[in-house]
A and B are shown apart, each in its own frame.
Chain A
Amino acid sequence: MQPDVVVMGAGIIGAACAQALKARGLGVLVVDRHGPASGTSAAGEGNVLVSDKEPGPELGLALASRDLWPELAEDAEWEEKGGLVVATTSGAVVPLQAFAAAQRAAGVDACEITAADALAREPHLNPEITAAVHYLQDAQLNPVKATRTLLRGIEVRRTEVSKTDGRSVMTADGVISCGAVVNATGPWAGNFGVNVLPRRGVVLVTTPIPGTIRHKVYDADYVGAVASGDADLQTSGVVESTQAGTVLIGSSRQRKGFDDTIETKVLKALARKAIAMFPMLSDVPVMRAYGGFRPYAPDHLPIIGEDPRTPGLWHATGHEGAGVGLAPATGRLLAQLFTGEDPLVDPRPFRVDRPEVMV
């Protein structure tokens, strides 16, 4: 039987779209060349963050997603651990506090706390920090388990799509006809007509030290690195532990196409920034490093909607490093636009016909 919708890509975004479409009674087939969560989704930390977003359409999408995740993240190690953003220089205090104040006005739970309070919450934190903001809504999950949960009851076929006209997809195993197609191929979305590019990131993983680090803790300069479009290597200290007790250390951003070589200059920069925040990490062994590619649009906003040039072809991509956090609201928004329901957020900022996107 012909599916109503073929979703290309079984990452967290494709899974969320498939889940939302199926919940509206549509017949959905997901296709992926490697299987569920085999690309960007498994290459991050599983962050569901509101703390790193300035007021604007992406924060709105993040807040909507944050509300949807708890009931969808069953069996996915959902943890409302909270985020702790720290300033490490005197010059960073005022910008951090101003950023938090603006977020509060937009509905974010952002509490300024003293350095002593921050140390009480994170006893191993460097006592030299100059300011801290506690974000109660920041959470984490296991992105592979979450993807699998969203895909429950949905057929995933392992095949590679070469092209689509919005009414069918041409795969390595033949043509699949359908009513519509969703392009949720993340950093590879550029193969299907939108201007999405890969931005490389690397994460270090330590041996388990359970209970040592409790929140997602990051340096206030992280926000600047996320918003930047600079091709040069940018790093910022981001430290958190997983339920297994390992500590994940990020973050790096580099534009170098799909080159996946690990460079020691990146490892060194990540290590230095992590130790600056948590000096005790100096003696903790790193047992692996992994990397991936964040899908970004030049204007740093997700792309969600139908392609006006190719009726039947929908896009859901360009979430950069925030795809896990933004997935449920993205899936729901796409499905609402698809079925003509009232959308949960204003869809216009994410439309496909932005000049930076349609090239």
Chain B
Amino acid sequence: MRIVVVGAGPAGMAAARTAADAGASVVMVDSEPEAGGQYLRGRARFGHAGVTHLKNTEAWLVEGDVLHVRRTDLPRDETSRLADSGWDGALDRERLSQDETSRLAPGPRRLRFDALIIATGAYDRPLPFPGWDGPGVITAGAAQALAKQGVTLAERVVVTGTGPFLLPVATALQDLGATLVGVYEASSPTRWLREARAITANRHKIGELARYRKVLPRLETRSAVIAKHGDRVTVAKLDGQWRPVSHRTVQADLVCIGYGFLPRTDLLPDARRTGDFYDVDERQRTSVENVYAAGEVTGIGGADLAEAEGVIAGAAAAGQDPPAKAVEAVRRGRLFAQALARAHAVQPGWQTWLDPDTTVCRCEKVRLEDLTDAVSMRELKLSSRVAMGRCQGRICGRNAADLTGVPFDGQRRVIAVPIPLGELAALPEEKS
């Protein structure tokens, strides 16, 4: 039984461990040099005798029972040397020691699987405002990644967005020496008063807030950064629909934006989904045969839920019944996830923050006034070039759909990461 796991965050690591414990031969693929994902990067230590961890390896296409991956970190002459040694790229744990896999050559490789588990996580959704495409504006996730690298920031920073993720980001920035000017949460905290059931089932989450007590005095709710000009930032008080009702200017060098998350669901363009998230059954099965999904790709709910889903996916993929404890953790976690989605839903008033010449798509420099009256995402893209650039709409696609009212068609990208033409030309021949 060969199981391939994509992603080495909380969901992927749990899936890989569980499947290996059940006796499956497991390969875990991740694009980063270390396991942990966005949440635990640099803090996770992954090691399991039954799991081959392929680091610096991007998954770019699922084709039948084959996952196509590419190694990104080794120089090219290494490729030819390994090719000369007769390495055919078909990964086989029986033949390949851990040591050898660490020297896996760059370039494209095929991983055949009996079951595939997608645990590719999510990335931040920014909302545009005048000046967001200028210097000194980054996503909250990028800020956190900087923090994990230990970069020192002697700057005045503000964090703006919605959702509990803003607090650890602000804390991390403050720990790096930055002057935290404000944390602006666009939603109203009273929305959580309607979510008693989710809170009762997830009391430990309330406890987690204590970790961020240093930044709580800087937290302002129903507020957002709605413009940045140089080091002057406009902070608005918002109504329930996120329309500005008053505003003031603060000084800040760096603005970190995070309006929730968008799932990284490129690998299965044809899987059934709701919104952008994969639909999964009680065993984490997607609509694609032999393919499971776990973690933020099925809904945003945090690391605990992701890990529990990973356990279920790993067990199910290996042909075992999911442990009752994980099933209960998923039940509770999803209550929280649903409450989170309701309490921190992006409200349409953000669209009033833009001027006609505000950039919507940074890659292709498409402004609000350039967006056409298209009826489909495809027509919108090809007539305005929005979402056609390097990021392939990961940053702007959803916002452009909201701004124009066209239905958001999810993330139907058949090639999940940019891949040099020469690597496509060198793809290994299919072997059956």
Interface residues of A (CB under 8 A from B): 34-38, 42, 142-145, 148, 158, 204, 206-208, 244, 246, 249, 261-265, 267-268, 270-272, 274-275, 281-291
Contact = CB atoms under 8 A, between A and B. Distances in A.
B430 A265 contact: yes
A204 B419 CA distance: 11
Interface string B20-59: 0000000000000000000000000000000000000000
Ordered nearest first, which 9 A-B pairs have the shortest CB separation? A282-B422, A144-B382, A271-B424, A285-B418, A35-B375, A271-B425, A262-B414, A268-B427, A272-B425
B430 A282 contact: no
B379 A290 contact: no
Contact of A34 (B68, B364, B376): B376
Given A286-B420, A286-B424, A35 B413 contact: no
A38 B379 CA distance: 7
Contacts of B351: none
B419 A275 contact: no
Given A36-B379, A264-B68, A288-B413, A206 B390 contact: no
B421 interface: yes
B379 A35 contact: yes
A288 B414 contact: yes
A286 B425 contact: no
**Majority SS at the chain A contact face:** mixed
Contact of A37 (B379, B421, B425, B427): B379
A206 B374 contact: no
B421 A290 contact: no
Contact of B418 (A38, A144, A207, A249): A207
A290 B419 CA distance: 15
Contacts of B419: 285-286
21 contacts: A36-B379, A38-B378, A148-B372, A207-B390, A244-B388, A249-B421, A263-B63, A264-B430, A268-B424, A268-B427, A271-B424, A271-B425, A282-B421, A282-B425, A285-B418, A286-B415, A287-B390, A287-B418, A288-B392, A288-B415, A289-B414
Contacts of A249: 421
Given A142-B382, A264-B63, A290-B414, A36 B422 contact: no
Contacts of A37: 378-379, 382
Q: Give the most central of B61, B68, B372, B420: most A CB within 10 Å.
A: B420
Nearest to A41: B382
Contacts of A38: 376, 378-379
Contacts of B389: 208
A145 B382 contact: yes
Nearest to A32: B375
Contact of B421 (A145, A244, A286, A288): A286
Contacts of B332: none
Contacts of A207: 390, 418
Contacts of B379: 35-38, 42, 144, 148
A287 B415 contact: yes
B320 interface: no
Contact of A244 (B372, B376, B385, B422): B385
B383 interface: yes
Contacts of B68: 264
Nearest to A266: B424
A261 B414 CA distance: 9
Interface in B376-426: 376, 378-379, 382-383, 385, 388-390, 392, 413-415, 418-422, 424-425
A84 B378 CA distance: 30
Nearest to A274: B421
Nearest to A43: B378
A281 B61 CA distance: 21
Interface string B173-203: 0000000000000000000000000000000
A206 B388 contact: no
B375 A264 contact: no
Given A42-B382, A142-B382, A271-B424, A244 B364 contact: yes
Residue among B413, B415, B427, B430 facing the most chain A CB atoms (10 A cut-off)? B415
A262 B269 CA distance: 10
Given A42-B382, A287-B418, 11 more contacts: A34-B376, A36-B374, A38-B379, A145-B383, A207-B418, A208-B389, A262-B61, A264-B427, A267-B415, A268-B424, A282-B422
A274 B388 CA distance: 22
Contacts of B415: 262, 267, 286-289
Nearest to B61: A264
A153 to B, nearest CB: 14
B110 to A, nearest CB: 8
A287 B392 contact: yes
Given A144-B382, A207-B390, A268-B425, A286 B375 contact: no
Contacts of B375: 34-36, 158
Contacts of A284: 420-421
